[in-house]
């Protein structure tokens, strides 16, 4: 990277010493041995005895169970975090594989415990769930019972766990390493996936168009490989779903998200019924950009011709100030991420694309991963991931099994963090043109989070069901299904070229966490509702919000959000959130007239 392009994030790399010092740290081997010693002791103590455990005895057992998963999660977190920074490093990949194999062994040794718990009759299980002695584990115990109809016999569960190491997990890793190793040649520069995708946001249309072509060419080069990976993982999920008798491809995800199938259907229907808002917005953007036709590579074009790079320290200040103004404690926690090197933001060869916040384990702390390129959207990404980080930091008190939230509410803190930064930036602007540019960028992000994610959910639904009905799919068939769902979203407002039919193949969520994407829409609409509450009733809101984050996954999502005045089961809930998006578009249209 040339000096001209430096943004201050080049040396922002995390310090993983709170987990382990390196892949060669001898403590990893000793901890692995200790884990299996704990597993052996646990099995001797509890195999065949769960049905007769008292509430106090079950509490002790769960505490020991947590200890095993906290320690194994520590090794697993370190391995994945380290590998993410360089997917081409063989030593990092080796440790990831060892961790996957270790996790499978642990699962095989301990699966008896969850199966024996599920074998308890409902009345006896409910007595234990309601016992004051087990109050800390109540939600974990009650949600685990949801899986009772879908569990197999112990030997079958062990086989599935063992085969996943050389099956699903291996293919997902191969996908990540393939794209991590991909390089893109643009105007004499050799770019990573993250860097080439960043060029599609460039104010220069010629650069956007060339970047999109270069990216497409590489996806075409990798088409056979990526298509095979997708087919294999779709078939793998289909097999597992059949074995477990899940009625639909999305059932397991909805169970994990603690949400009813009907609620997801209502969300999807509400959003798809409002695709006209997307088309209305892109007609406005086409006009603002002065274009006769808006192509897919124009969607994220900024409307002001600014190439200013936002320095890392400036981004850091934006996020810290926004978070601290909302709640001082929130700001203090966020500051720890910067001060203690819990963030990896530097773009470098081999580093996987995208961004995430890893909660790791309750005995440690979260880490934030991103690829900072100095754009305003990178500031929003930083705010997003630090929102997750604060959430994970606070929820550690709920322990291994209840610190994580369902995906539906997992996006609450991240999207709320983005909103805080956006509102702060907006208040600082007086020029209508600058306000409009910021608002257009925010609507771009909101459309990507709500509407595009639901269109991707429709693509996922199509590929899972089509793979099950038609067998292995060709790259062309994937492309057809992708284009159907994207044309439905954009209508005539965006001209999708033939190149775009290949752009399904690089999206990791489809493979990492099937069914994930609707959670983004859920989270965005929930935050829009929460922010409306905050604006109308600011007194005491921050305190309640922090309590929500601290609760983690210790209660049902509707119970947690209801404390902030939101009813996610209300039929009007989704439409109210969509009305807020419509208001943003109306404001943009008004500012556009004012800016002329």
Dihedral sign for Cα 542, 546, 547, 549, please.
positive
Q: What was the pLDDT predicted at 179?
A: 94
* Tens-place pLDDT, residues 157-212: 999 999 999 999 999 999 999 999 999 999 999 999 989 999 999 999 999 999 99
According to the model, what pLDDT value does residue 571 have?
A: 73
pLDDT for 532: 86
Mean pLDDT of the chain: 94
Does the domain at 312-433+530-572 match CATH 1.10.1370.40? Answer given as yes
185-306+449-512 homologous superfamily? Oligoendopeptidase f, C-terminal domain (1.10.1370.20)
Per DSSP, the three-state class of 163 is helix
HSE, side-chain direction, 13 A CA sphere, residue 484: 13
**pLDDT of amino acid 307:** 57
- Domain limits, the chain: 16-166, 185-306+449-512, 312-433+530-572
Query: So what's the pLDDT on residue 3?
Result: 43
Strands 367-369 and 343-344: parallel
Instruction: State the architecture of 16-166 in CATH terms.
Output: Up-down Bundle (1.20)
With helix as H, strand as E and coil as C, how does 202-236 read? CCCHHHHHHHHHHHHHHHHHCHHHHHHHHHHHHHH
The SS3 call for residue 191 is strand
Dump pLDDT digits (tens) for 91-141: 999 999 999 999 999 999 999 999 999 999 999 999 999 999 999 999 999
Alpha-helical segments (H) within 86-222: 90-119, 122-129, 138-144, 154-166, 168-181, 193-199, 205-221
- The pLDDT of residue 306 is 58
pLDDT of residue 263: 87
Report pLDDT digits (tens) over 21-52.
999 999 999 999 999 999 999 999 999 999 99
Is residue 4 pLDDT above 70, yes or no? no
- Contact predicate 323/417, CB 8 Å: yes
Give the tens place of pLDDT for each residue, 370-393.
Answer: 999 988 889 999 999 999 999 999
Instruction: Report whether pLDDT(430) > 90.
Output: no
Q: Are 234 and 411 in contact (CB under 8 A)?
A: no
Least Cα distance to 99 among 63, 121, 71, 129 occurs for 71
Q: Which two tokens stand for residue 321?
A: 């100030």
Radius of gyration of the chain (CA): 24
Once rounded to an integer, what is the mean pLDDT over residues 267-288? 96
Intrachain domains 185-306+449-512 and 312-433+530-572 with the same fold = yes
Q: 109 and 43 in contact (C-beta within 8 Å)? A: yes
For the chain, what percent of residues have pLDDT higher than 70? Answer: 98
């Amino acid at each position: 990277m040339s000096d001209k392009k430096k943004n201050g994030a080049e040396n922002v790399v995390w310090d993983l010493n709170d987990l382990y010092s390196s892949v060669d740290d001898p403590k990893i081997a000793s901890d692995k041995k200790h884990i299996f010693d704990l597993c052996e002791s646990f099995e001797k103590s509890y195999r065949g005895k769960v049905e007769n455990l008292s509430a106090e005895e079950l509490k002790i057992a769960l505490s020991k169970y947590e200890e095993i998963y906290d320690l194994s999660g520590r090794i697993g977190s370190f391995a994945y975090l380290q590998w993410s920074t360089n997917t081409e490093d063989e030593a990092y990949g080796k440790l990831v594989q060892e961790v996957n194999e270790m996790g499978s062994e642990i699962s095989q040794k301990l699966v008896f415990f969850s199966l024996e718990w599920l074998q308890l009759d409902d009345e006896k299980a409910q007595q234990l769930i309601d016992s004051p002695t087990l109050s800390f584990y109540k939600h974990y115990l009650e949600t685990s019972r949801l899986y009772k109809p879908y569990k197999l016999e112990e030997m079958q569960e062990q086989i599935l766990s063992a085969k996943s190491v050389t099956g699903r997990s291996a293919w997902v890793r191969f996908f990540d390493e393939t794209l991590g190793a991909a390089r893109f040649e643009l105007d004499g520069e050799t770019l990573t996936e993250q860097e080439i995708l960043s060029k599609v946001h460039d104010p220069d249309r010629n650069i956007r168009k060339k970047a999109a072509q270069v990216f497409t060419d590489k996806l075409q080069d990798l088409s056979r490989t990526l298509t095979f990976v997708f087919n294999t993982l779709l078939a793998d999920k289909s097999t597992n779903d059949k074995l477990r008798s899940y009625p639909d491809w999305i059932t397991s995800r909805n169970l994990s998200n603690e949400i009813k199938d009907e609620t997801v259907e209502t969300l999807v229907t509400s959003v798809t019924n409002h695709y006209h808002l997307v088309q209305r917005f892109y007609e406005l953007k086409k006009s603002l950009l002065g274009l006769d036709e808006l192509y897919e590579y124009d969607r994220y074009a900024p409307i002001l011709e600014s190439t200013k790079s936002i320095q890392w320290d400036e981004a850091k200040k934006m996020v810290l100030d926004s978070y601290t103004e909302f709640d001082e404690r929130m700001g203090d926690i966020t500051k720890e991420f910067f001060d203690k090197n819990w963030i990896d933001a530097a773009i470098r060869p081999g580093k996987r694309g995208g961004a995430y916040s890893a909660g790791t384990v309750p005995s440690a702390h979260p880490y934030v991963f991103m690829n900072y390129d100095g754009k305003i959207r990178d500031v929003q990404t930083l705010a997003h991931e630090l929102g997750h980080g604060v959430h994970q930091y606070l929820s550690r008190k709920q322990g291994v099994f209840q610190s994580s939230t369902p995906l539906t509410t997992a996006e609450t803190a991240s999207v709320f963090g983005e909103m805080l930064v956006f509102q702060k930036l907006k208040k600082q602007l007086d020029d209508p043109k600058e306000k409009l540019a910021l608002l257009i960028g925010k609507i771009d992000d909101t459309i990507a989070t709500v509407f595009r994610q639901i269109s991707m959910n429709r693509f996922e639904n199509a590929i899972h069901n089509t793979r099950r009905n038609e067998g292995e799919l060709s790259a062309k068939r994937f492309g057809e299904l992708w284009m159907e769902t994207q044309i439905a979203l954009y209508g005539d407002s965006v001209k999708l070229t033939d190149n775009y039919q290949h752009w399904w193949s690089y999206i990791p969520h489809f493979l990492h966490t099937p069914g994930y994407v609707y959670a983004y829409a859920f989270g965005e609409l929930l935050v829009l509702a929460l922010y409306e509450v905050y604006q109308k009733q600011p007194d005491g809101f921050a305190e309640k919000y922090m309590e929500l984050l601290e609760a983690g996954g210790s209660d049902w999502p509707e119970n947690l959000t209801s404390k902030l005045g939101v009813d996610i089961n209300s039929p009007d809930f989704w439409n109210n959130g969509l009305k807020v998006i419509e208001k943003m578009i109306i404001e943009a249209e008004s500012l556009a007239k004012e800016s002329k």
